Amino acid sequence: MEKLLANQFALVTGASSGIGYGVARALADAGASVALNYHSHAESAEKLADEINQSGGTAFPVKADVSNPADVDAMFDACRARFGTLDIVVANSGLQRDSAIADMSMEEWQTVLGTNLTGQFLTAQAAVKEFRRRGPTSASKALGKIICMSSVHEVIPWAGHVNYAASKGGIQMFMKSLAQEVAPERIRVNSIAPGAIRTKINRDAWETHTAEQKLLQLIPYGRVGEVEDIGKAAVWLASDESDYVVGTTLFVDGGMTLYPGFIDNG
Ligand code: NAD
């Protein structure tokens, strides 16, 4: 049977660790050729590319700081040089610089907004231009697919993290407005909003038994998420199986957005 993403070319930003790593692996397993963007950890991206190439897939690492327009242009040029085009772009790169409001520096604010929000803008903008340049293909019903990696914090306020929550709240309206703008061209833009997924970004929240038990109080489904949970959602959102899904945030959060504080009748 032909794989769900056969003959398609994908780019995943922030693919050298965590969710990006898991998403890239899942897209490759579903038959896509994958460009693996990394910012700082070339070895991890090279290791994943080797793993994918050795298991019969196609992948290559590409360095770029997604907050830098020239880097993003160069990253898309590298994808065109290697693959000819892209069909699927996952804007996943993100980071936290946590601080109480009075202590938050301009640098902490701008770094988070620059990577999490401006980075997604630059990546999605380049993706739209590439889909238009290439025109329709037989590989997919859509002209192209963009997946923004959001967070439950696009709707759950987060004290001590105003920069991060503002960036993810921004992604919500960025994604919806872009989806509305480009849907007539059959470009599908959607978000995934992960809950607590076991990666280094939130290591403090799951590393010890005590921390994990506290975290589980926020997750009705009773387990911390794994990067594979997000990978499977990304494959579906990138495939023609979700062809009528446009401008939606898919929460993959074990019920974290269900107001778990009300579980005992409030
Ligand atoms: P992670 O730290 O493992 O991955 C983040 C990736 O982004 C890293 O590979 C990092 O190198 C890359 N990155 C950071 N700045 C970059 C830049 N300027 N240019 C290019 N790449 C850059 O953490 P993760 O948990 O895998 O996070 C991935 C995404 O998922 C982020 O957008 C994060 O906000 C989101 N998210 C994570 C969780 C979670 O529980 N882990 C929950 C909700 C949302």
pLDDT along the chain (266 residues), means of 10: 94 98 98 97 96 98 98 98 98 98 98 98 99 97 98 98 98 98 99 97 93 96 98 98 98 98 84
Q: What is the DSSP letter of 53?
A: H
Which two tokens mark 169?
Answer: 């709240």
State the pLDDT at residue 174.
99
Closest atom of ligand 1 to 114 CA is 18
Closest atom of ligand 1 to 167 CA is 34
Q: How far apart are alpha carbons 167 and 154 in whole angstroms?
A: 8
Strand order in the sheet with 9-12: 59-63, 33-38, 9-12, 88-91, 144-149, 187-194, 249-252
The residue whose CB lies within 8 Å of the most ligand 1 atoms, and thus the one to mutate among 21, 93, 154, is: 93
- CA of 250 from ligand 1 middle (Å) equals 17
Which two tokens mark 98?
Answer: 């946590």
Instruction: Go through the domains of the chain in sequence order and give each one's CATH number.
Output: 9-251 (3.40.50.720)
Residue 164 is a catalytic residue: yes
Closest C-alpha residue for ligand 1 atom 13: 93
Strands 33-38 and 59-63: parallel
φ/ψ of residue 90, rounded to 5 = -110, 110
State the pLDDT at residue 6.
97
- CA of 92 from ligand 1 middle (Å) equals 6
The set of protein residues with a Cβ atom below 6 angstroms from ligand 1 is: 13-14, 16-20, 39-40, 65-67, 92-95, 115, 119, 149, 151, 194, 196-197, 199-202
Which amino acid appears at position 55 of this protein? S
Q: Which of 66, 52, 60, 57 is nearest to 82 (CA)?
A: 60
| Residue keyed to tokens 């911390």 | 224
State the pLDDT at residue 231.
98
State the pLDDT at residue 2.
83
Strand partners, 190: 147
Closest atom of ligand 1 to 200 CA is 3
Catalytic residue among 21, 38, 164, 244: 164
Q: Which of 75, 7, 70, 67 is nearest to 37 (CA)?
A: 75
State the pLDDT at residue 266.
65
CA dihedral 198, 115, 143, 186 (to 10 degrees): 90
pTM of the model: 0.98
State the pLDDT at residue 1.
73
20-78 tens-digit pLDDT: 999 999 999 999 999 999 999 899 999 999 999 999 999 999 999 999 999 999 999 99
Q: What is the DSSP letter of 223?
A: S
Which two tokens mark 144?
Answer: 């192209």
- CA of 95 from ligand 1 middle (Å) equals 5
